[in-house]
Structure formats: C-alpha cells, structure tokens
Amino acid sequence: MTLEAIAEEFADVDDETRLELLLDYAVRLPPLPPAYHALRDAGVNMIHECQSPVFMTVEVTGGTVHLYADVPREAPTPRSFVSILVRAFDGQPAHHVLEAPDDLLYRLGLTHLLGMQRIHGLSAIYRHTLSEVARQL
Amino acid sequence: MADKAYADKSVLVSTDWVIAHMGDTANVRLIESNEDVLLYGTGHIPGAVHIDWVNDLNDQLVRDYVGHERFAILCREKGIGNDTTVVFYGDKNNWWACYAFWVFKLYGHEKCVIMNGGRTKWLAEGREITTEVPNYPAASYTARSQDRSIRAFRDEVLAHQQAGRPLVDVRSPAEYDGTLLHMPAYPQEGALRGGHIPGARNIPWSRAAREDATFKSRTELEAIYLDEQGLDPNAETVAYCRIGERSSHSWFVLTYLLGFKNVRNYDGSWTEWGNLVGVPIEK
C-alpha cells in the first residue's frame, strides 16, 4: 500500500475512526524476523526519543528499502505509526521513499489527534527512517 | 509491625476492591487514563470508560483545562453524576490517572479514588480485560468553577519563590540541573532555558512508586519527603514538572498519602517558567 493511499485512508474520517485505523495498524505490525532479535535485545537501532523501546533497522539493498521494526504492544501509538511506515516503505525504491512529505504526521491527521506533547516521538521515528535511507543510498 | 496508615486511606482502592465493586455501575465508574491514547482500545478493565488527557481534559485552543461547562458535559457523557465514585487507573505508575484525578478535583468532584498499582498491577495479576467499550445512560452533572486552592499560576509561584517557601521540582535530575531541556524521551517539550526555580528541591516523582506500580508505604514516603528532603506538612508547598502531569502524581502523594495541608500543582511548570522573560532561574 502506498503512502498516498494510506494518507487517503486517514483523510475525511472522524477522529474515532482514525483511532480505530491506528489500532488496526498497531495490530498488523509484522513480527520482527528472528535474525534481528539479537540486535533489538542489544539495544541497537533504538529510537531514543521515544519513551517506549522502539526498534527500527533500515536497510537499503540494491536501491530497495527494507524496514525491520519492533514496538511493544503496550505502546500502541508508536507501534501503529511504525506499522504504517513498514507498510508504505518496505520493498519500495529508496528514491521514492525519500520523496515522502515532511509533514506526514499532519497529513495523517495525527498532529491534532495526539496533541503536540505526544507527536514528537513519532517525528523522531520518521526522521530516523528517512535519514537512514538517505545515508545508505 | 503494621505500617503507619496513609493520611487519607480512603483515596486508594485495591484491585480486589475494584473486582468487588465494578458491577455497581450506578454508583461507581472506572476511568482509564493513559499516556498512550490507543492503549485503552487494546483492552481495559470491563466497564471502564476512557478519558484522554489531551483530547478530553485539555482545551485545544487556550493552554488550559477544558472549563467547567465542558467538564460537566464530559462527565454526563460518561455517565458520571456528582455522587459517583470515580476510580482512576492507568499506565506508568498511575501517572496519568493522578493527573485526571487532579483535574476532577479542580472541578470539585468529591468522590475520587485511585486503583493502587494501576494497569500494570491489574495485568500482572492476570485479571480480565476487554476491548468492549461500555455505554452508560447520561447522568446529570454540575461542575463548580476551578478550585484555585490546588492550582498555582506563575505570578503566585514567583511570589511563593521570593518568599522562600518550599517548591518541589519532580522532574529527572538532568532536567533539574538544566543539562537537559526536556525529559530524556520527550525532545521538543522544552524551554529556552534549562534549570529549576531557585530554591526548589528535586524529588523525582517516580520515587514515590514501587516496582509493581503501587505507592510506597507511608513510612517509606516520609523517609523521602520529610526526613531526607525536610519538607514540612504544614507549609504551603508548590509542586511542578514540565507540564503539570508528573507533579500531579507528587501532589497526590503529598496531599493524601502524607497529609500535607496545602499543596498546589503549578501546571504551567517548566514549559512556562523556562520560557518566561526575566524570571529567576537556578542551575
């Protein structure tokens, strides 16, 4: 599913539906492949700006982006956002990922829904993902 | 030897108490308040309603709480009447539950209690949760205007500081020292200056909680707040943090568990003080 399609899914729905959509994404985060468990457990590639332990490894191979992520179920909000990024970016060409808009959280309607105080950890996840793609390209 | 009782033990209930009273929905309302807005939706205590500190309690335009009329509407919608016993619980050592408790007290709700141990303890005990959202008949509710005796504003805090009265800064030591402009995990909630209000003691809020998320005993709390930090239960005291949520936890501890006579929460906290022009700051 493209980022544009996801943004469309979040546009024009009320806040309650938007929360349900997020919860649904939180549930659907693919399990972290066992090969990455050791990295996660060693605390590598953690996004420190998030209060909950958010693990995100970004790999660019042959110009294609791969995301491997894990977020505890007790932190459904960052988990849902990570799940959106995995769905939108995993398997996509890097140059396409780097065209993603700076104001994604706003476009998804999350800035208003979560409030300023809760949005920053998500911004950090987003920045980390895009800057890792750019660095490895 | 039995531990000394909390100053007001009526404000804490156990998970067993909740089990025994959760069916009494005409008189008791469980309220889950978390930092994470989605957490309630992943499963909560059967019959509990959700109150979110951003969307339900904070005004989205003015930096303030929702106002007593909107607060009354919120209560009516959740089936909370003026006589309902509201039982708060939530994630992270009941941090946000205490914040919601404080806002309910701000609008004069009388029967407020905290479920000791919160979400963590309920889940650790393997108790039932559900994703079913309950619906209660609308209640009638009249909210009073804000009780200023538990809320401090910046000019009052400045006068308080200049009079040399006790201030408690409940943030992490690095925030207090001014090394960090924000909580380690919350980057942008900062201020233009780091440090603390001159004279404030640093007692991080989480020192009041045990590993299992319950509150420490009165004896343990007295050892911290009275013996170690020298606070006086009879002195007017102001607690603050970054936006007033962690300090509502400490406000609860000082007021109800230790029986301090006059504690106010300065919810403007460091995100106001650290941005004010010309106020004194200490590192």
Which residues of A make CB contacts under 8 Å with B? 15, 19-20, 22-23, 26, 48-51, 73-77, 80, 112-118, 120-121, 123-124
CA pseudo-torsion sign B274, B277, B279, B280: positive
Q: CB–CB of A76 and B35 under 8 A?
A: no
- pLDDT for res B28: 98
Do A80 and A26 meet the contact criterion of CB atoms below 8 Å apart? yes
Domain parsing of chain A, residue ranges: 3-136
Higher pLDDT, B160 or B178: B160
How far does the CA of residue B187 sit from the closest CA of chain A (Å)?
A: 6
Band of pLDDT at residue B182, cut at 50, 70 and 90:
low
CA dihedral B192, B160, B249, A52 (to 10 degrees): 10
Report the residue from B42, B55, B185 with minimal CB separation from A23.
B42
**Is it the case that residue B162 has pLDDT exceeding 80?**
yes
Among A36-50, B16-30, B115-129, the minimum mean pLDDT is found in A36-50
**Average pLDDT for residues A103-117, to the nearest whole number?**
86
Q: Is B55 close to A48, i.e. CB distance below 8 A?
A: no
Q: Tokens 């039995």 — which residue?
A: B2
Residue B185 clears pLDDT 60, i.e. is over it: no
A54, A117, A123, A125, best to mutate vs chain B, most B CBs in 10 Å: A117
Q: Is the pLDDT of residue B187 over 60?
A: no
Give the SS3 label for residue B218.
Answer: helix
pLDDT-based confidence at B189, cuts 50/70/90? low
What per-residue confidence (pLDDT) applies to A118? Answer: 79
Instruction: Kindly report the backbone phi and psi dihedral angles of residue B169, in degrees, each rounded to the nearest multiple of 5, phi listed first.
Output: -100, 115
Strands (E), B203-281: 237-240, 263-266
Question: For all residues of chain B together, what is the average pLDDT?
Answer: 94
Segment among A22-31, B17-26, B182-191 with least mean pLDDT:
B182-191
- Compute the distance between CA of residue B51 and CA of residue B44 in angstroms, rounded to an integer: 12
Render pLDDT for B133-159 as a digit per residue (tens, 0 to 9): 999 999 999 999 999 999 999 999 999
| Alpha helix ranges (H) inside B107-171 | 118-124, 154-162
Distance CA B108, CA B110 (A): 6
Written as six digits, the tokens of A106 are 């706003």
* Residue type for position B143: A
Q: Which pLDDT does position B186 carry in this prediction?
A: 52
Which architecture does CATH list for A3-136? Alpha-Beta Complex (3.90)
Q: Do A19 and B243 touch (CB under 8 A)?
A: no
Which amino acid belongs to residue B95? W
Q: Quote the minimal CA–CA distance from A97 to chain B in Å.
A: 25
Token pair of A113 as six digits: 């829904």
B278: tokens are: 């010309």
Instruction: Give tens-digit pLDDT for B47-56.
Output: 999 999 988 9
User: Which of A49-63, B174-188, B197-211 is the least confident region?
Assistant: B174-188
Can you tell me the mean pLDDT for B226-231? 98
Residues of chain B contacting A80 with CB distance shorter than 8 Å: 38
Q: What are the beta bridge partners of residue B29?
A: B86
Q: Distance (Å) from the C-alpha of residue A130 to the closest C-alpha of chain B?
A: 18
Confirm if A108 and A10 have CB atoms less than 8 A apart: yes
Domains of chain B and CATH, by start: 9-146 (3.40.250.10), 149-273 (3.40.250.10)
Mean pLDDT of chain A: 92
B-chain CB neighbours of A19 within 8 Å are 37-38, 41
Contact B38 A19 (CB under 8 A): yes
Is residue B75 flagged as an active site residue?
no
Whether A111 shows a pLDDT value over 70: the answer reads yes
Q: CA nearest B259: which of B15, B10, B2?
A: B10
Cβ <8 Å between A123 and B188: yes
Helix-strand-coil percent breakdown of chain A, rounded to 5? 55, 10, 30
Q: Give the pLDDT score at B201.
A: 98
pLDDT tens digits along A46-103: 887 667 889 999 999 999 999 999 999 999 999 999 999 999 999 999 999 999 998 9
